[in-house]
Amino acid sequence: MELRRLQYFIVLAEELHFRRAAARLAISQPPLSIAIKQLEEEIGAPLFERSTKLVSLTPVGAAFYPEALRIVAQLDRARSIAQRVASGERGVLRLGFVGGMLLRRMPEFLALHRRAHPEASVILRELSSGEQIRSIRSGELAAGFLHMGGPVEELDHLLMADEDFVACLPSSHPLAGAEIVKVKVLRDERFVMFSREISPGYFDTVISICAREGFSPTISFEVGHWLTAILLVAKGLGVALVPRCFANTGLRGVSFVELKAARTHSLAHFAWKRTSSDPLLLRFVDLVRTTLSSRVNKHLSD
Amino acid sequence: MELRRLQYFIVLAEELHFRRAAARLAISQPPLSIAIKQLEEEIGAPLFERSTKLVSLTPVGAAFYPEALRIVAQLDRARSIAQRVASGERGVLRLGFVGGMLLRRMPEFLALHRRAHPEASVILRELSSGEQIRSIRSGELAAGFLHMGGPVEELDHLLMADEDFVACLPSSHPLAGAEIVKVKVLRDERFVMFSREISPGYFDTVISICAREGFSPTISFEVGHWLTAILLVAKGLGVALVPRCFANTGLRGVSFVELKAARTHSLAHFAWKRTSSDPLLLRFVDLVRTTLSSRVNKHLSD
DNA sequence: CATGTTGATACTCTTTATATATCAAATGAG
DNA sequence: CTCATTTGATATATAAAGAGTATCAACATG
C-alpha cells in the first residue's frame, strides 16, 4: 500500500470527480484512475462507484476514508515529532552529576535549559565521576557534571569551577569561629572522607593536602554521599576538607573555615561525548558555555 | 514520505545492522542505505549514527521509531476495516420500514442479521412507502420494508406477505365476538383510516373494498401511524379494516374479525436498489430471500 | 600486514509513474 | 434526433525511481 495512492484516494473522496481531483493533485487524470484501481485491487473491493456522470463512495470507500485521514495525520505527527526532536525543541536529555554539583551552578543551567526548551525533559542520575564517564562514552548519558582527573578519550569538557578547599568543622569545635587555620592544626582530628571508591580524586586530593603538611589523616568514616559527610561533621563525629562550594549548604551545626596555603583545588567539569549530535545536548553545551563565559555569578535557587 | 522507506526504517531500527536488515527485507544492502538516507533528508536530521562497526539510533530516530510503528499499525487497521466492510462483516445497513412491518417478519430478519453480522450496525427509519422508494433510489437507504403498488424503476423486491383484510372492532362492539362478518354490515360504522398522504395504497384499497360492497365509508379519523389507528378503535372511536397481521398487536380493547369475501389483499414487500453493491445489503437480501423461501413461520420475539 | 568485516558509492537495468492522445458512454442543446 | 461536450477508461511513450552488481574506504582482528 503506497502512500501516494492514499493521498489520491483522499482527494478523490473529497472531490468525487476524477478530473477535478487530478487537477488538485497536479497530475493528469489517467494516473489517478490507475492509482485508484490499484488501491481497490489491494483492498479487494471497489472504493468508488463510477458512472460517466457521477462518482460516489461505496460503503467500503466511506469506511476507508476516515482511516486514510488518520494515516496521513499520524504521518504528519511522526514527521513533526522527529523534526522537533531534531531542532532540540523536544526530546530527552540524560545527565549525570556528582552530588556536590547541586551546590555549584548546575541548578542554574537546568533552570535556563528548562526555560529555553519547555517541551524537553531532563533525566538526572546521581553517579560517581567514573560511572558518568563510562555512561557518557557508551551513550547512556548525554553529558555529566563531574570531576575529571585529566583529558578523557572521546569526551569534551568545560571547566565549571576551580575552588580551593576549606575545612568543615562542627560548630562546637574550638576553631569553628576562626578566620583561617593551618591544615596542620587538624592533624589530630578524625576525618570524614568521601569513599575512595566513589570519588578517588577527592580522596587522593585530601590525602595529599595532609601529606604536604606532614601528616596522614585519621579516617573515622568513609561515606558515599556529600550530605552524609556534612551531617556527620555537624554531629561532631569528625572534620572534613571540602571544596568551598559546600559552604553554601546552609546546614546547621557546621562551620567552614578557610585553609592557609592549601594550594590544592577542586576542579568541577561539565563533560560530553565529542561526537554526539543530539541537538538537545548541543543546545545545552552552548548554554553552559555561554553562561560560564558571561561570568554571571548569581545562583538560581531552583 | 514513502511507506516503503518507513518499513525499511523500522526494520533497520530493530536490527541496527544494514546487511541483516536488508536480508530481512529481502533486498540488497545498497538500496537500504539509499532509502534511509532519503528518509533522513526528508526529516532533515540523521536517524542513525553509523560507524563501520556500530549502527545506533540518534535521539531523533528513537523518537521517530514508535511513531513509525503507529503509522504501520494504522495502515493495517485501515486495510482491515475496509476489507471487513467489503466482506459484510462490518458496516452500516440503513433500512426503512412502514410501521406495520414490525408485526410481520421484519423483526425476525433483523434478529437473523444481527446474529450473522454481530459487528455490523443497522439504522432503522420509519417512513412511508413513497419516502422509502425515493430514499432507496437516492442511496440514502439501502433497502426498505414497504408496500409497492407495482414495479419501480431501479428497484428489486421480494414479496414478504400477502394478507387479506380483517375488521378491527372495539371489544365492546356487538360483532366483536363473531367468527366472520360481511363487509356490508359495517356500512354505518365510522372508519378510522391511515392517512391517504402517508399510505395511498392502503387508503384506496379500503375504499375499494367498501365500494364493492356498495357503500362509501364514513371516515371519522385519518391517522398517520398504525398504533394510533388501533388505539382509536380500542377507545370505541371507530372501526378499521386492516391487514391480518395487525391481529398480532396484542392491544387490549380491540377484536379482529374475519371479513367474508374481502377479496382484496395487502402486499408487503422488501425492496432495494438493483445496482447496489453494498455487501451488507447483499447479505441481507440473501437472508430475507432464503428465510422467506424456507417457509418457516415462527416469529422471533426479538 | 593480510583478511574479513562494516556501510557508502557508481553504474546498469528493470520497474513504476506520469503525460499525451484517444476511446466509448452518457448528457444536453439545438 | 443529431451533434458537440463531458465523463472516466485505455494505449503508448517517456521519465523517474528502485534494486541489483561490483566496488570502495574505514575499521577490526588474527
- Annotate A114-140 with DSSP letters as a single string: HHH-TT-EEEEEE--HHHHHHHHHHTS
- Calculate what percentage of chain B has a pLDDT beyond 70: 97
Average pLDDT over residues B47-76: 89
pLDDT, tens digit (0-9, with 9 covering 90-100), for B125-172: 898 888 899 889 878 899 999 998 888 888 999 999 999 999 999 999
Average pLDDT over residues B108-127: 92
Q: Does residue B166 contact residue B172 with C-beta atoms inside 8 Å?
A: no
In this prediction, residue B53 carries a pLDDT of 78
Burial class (CB in 10 A: 0-12, 13-18, 19+), A28: exposed
- Asked whether the beta carbons of residue B1 and residue A2 sit closer than 8 angstroms, the reply is no
Q: Which of A17-21, B8-12, B249-253 has the lowest mean pLDDT?
A: B249-253
Choose between B301 and B258: higher pLDDT.
Answer: B258
In this prediction, residue B96 carries a pLDDT of 93
pLDDT, tens digit (0-9, with 9 covering 90-100), for B233-288: 999 999 999 999 998 888 889 999 999 876 778 899 999 998 888 889 999 999 99
- Asked whether the beta carbons of residue B59 and residue A3 sit closer than 8 angstroms, the reply is no
- Calculate what percentage of chain A has a pLDDT beyond 90: 46
CA distances from A178 to A166, A184, A240, A256 (A): 12, 14, 16, 9
Among B108, B99, B102, residue whose Cα is nearest residue B302: B108
The integer distance in angstroms from the CA atom of A54 to the C1' atom of C21 is 24
Mark out the alpha helices in A44-91 (DSSP H runs). 59-87
Q: Which of A2, A60, A79, A122 to mutate to test the interface with B (most CBs of B within 10 A)?
A: A60
B90 touches chain A (CB under 8 A): yes
Task: Tell which CATH classification among 1.10.3720.10, 3.30.420.40, 3.40.190.290, 2.120.10.30 matches the domain A161-266.
Answer: 3.40.190.290
pLDDT, tens digit (0-9, with 9 covering 90-100), for A155-173: 999 999 999 999 999 999 9
Average pLDDT in chain B? 88
Residue A188, pLDDT above cutoff 50: yes
pLDDT tier at B302, thresholds 50, 70, 90:
very low
Among B264, B280, B229, residue whose Cα is nearest residue B116: B280
Residue A135, pLDDT above cutoff 50: yes
The Cα–Cα gap between A26 and A279 comes to 37
- Asked whether the beta carbons of residue A71 and residue B75 sit closer than 8 angstroms, the reply is yes
Buried b (16+ CB within 10 A) or exposed e, B185-207: ebeebebbbbbeebbbbbbebbb
Provide the chain B residues 53-72 that lie in CB contact (below 8 A) with chain A.
56, 58-60, 63-64, 67-68, 70-71
The Cα–Cα gap between A197 and B204 comes to 105
Instruction: Write the single-letter amino acid at B41.
Output: E
Sign of the CA dihedral A39, A42, A45, A51? positive
In this structure, whether the domain defined by A3-86 belongs to CATH 1.10.10.10 is answered with: yes
Domain B3-85: top CATH class: mainly alpha
Among B244, B198, B207, residue whose Cα is nearest residue B225: B198
pLDDT tier at A12, thresholds 50, 70, 90:
very high
Average pLDDT over residues A101-110: 92
pLDDT tier at A299, thresholds 50, 70, 90:
very low
Mark out the alpha helices in chain B (DSSP H runs). 3-15, 18-25, 29-43, 59-87, 106-116, 129-138, 200-212, 226-234, 279-293
3-state helix vs strand vs coil in chain A, percent to 5: 45, 25, 30
pLDDT, tens digit (0-9, with 9 covering 90-100), for A57-96: 988 999 999 899 999 989 998 999 999 998 888 888 999 9
Q: Cell for B166?
A: 380483517
In this prediction, residue A241 carries a pLDDT of 92
pLDDT tier at B52, thresholds 50, 70, 90:
confident
Tell me which DSSP letter residue B47 carries.
S
Residue B117, pLDDT above cutoff 80: yes
pLDDT tier at B295, thresholds 50, 70, 90:
low
B92-159+268-293 and B162-266 agree in CATH topology? yes
Question: Which residue approaches D11 most closely, CA to C1'?
Answer: A30
Among B258, B265, B256, residue whose Cα is nearest residue B164: B265
The torsion angles phi and psi of B210, rounded to 5 degrees, stand at -65, -40
A76 touches chain B (CB under 8 A): no
Q: Does residue B63 contact residue B93 with C-beta atoms inside 8 Å?
A: no
Instruction: Write the single-letter amino acid at B252.
Output: R
In this prediction, residue A295 carries a pLDDT of 61
Residue B182 Cα, gap to closest chain A Cα (Å): 51
Nucleotides of C under 7 A from a protein CB: 5-11, 17-21, 24-27
The domain locations on chain B are 3-85, 92-159+268-293, 162-266
Residue A8, pLDDT above cutoff 80: yes
The Cα–Cα gap between B129 and B204 comes to 14
- Residues 6 or more apart whose CB falls under 8 angstroms from that of B140 comprise B94
The torsion angles phi and psi of B157, rounded to 5 degrees, stand at -155, 160
Nucleotides of D under 7 A from a protein CB: 6-12, 18-22, 25-28
Give this prediction's pTM: 0.70
In this structure, whether the domain defined by A92-159+270-293 belongs to CATH 3.40.190.10 is answered with: yes
- Asked whether the beta carbons of residue A74 and residue B90 sit closer than 8 angstroms, the reply is no
Q: Name the CATH superfamily housing domain B162-266.
A: Periplasmic binding protein-like II (3.40.190.10)
The Cα–Cα gap between A40 and A32 comes to 12
Chain A residues lying within 8 Å of B44, measured CB to CB: 83, 86
The 10 Å Cβ neighbour count of residue B106 is 22
User: Which residue in chain B is spatially nearest to A62 when comparing CA positions?
Assistant: B82
3-state helix vs strand vs coil in chain B, percent to 5: 45, 25, 30
N-terminal to C-terminal alpha carbon distance within chain A? 52
Residue B200, pLDDT above cutoff 90: no
Average pLDDT over residues B70-93: 90
SS3 of residue B115 by DSSP? helix
Q: How many degrees, rounded to 5, is the angle at CA B44 between CA B39 and CA B45?
A: 85
B272 touches chain A (CB under 8 A): no
N-terminal to C-terminal alpha carbon distance within chain B? 51
In this prediction, residue B262 carries a pLDDT of 64
Average pLDDT over residues B200-223: 89
Half-sphere exposure of A33 (CA within 13 A, CB side): 7
Please give the CATH architecture assigned to the domain spanning B92-159+268-293.
Answer: 3-Layer(aba) Sandwich (3.40)
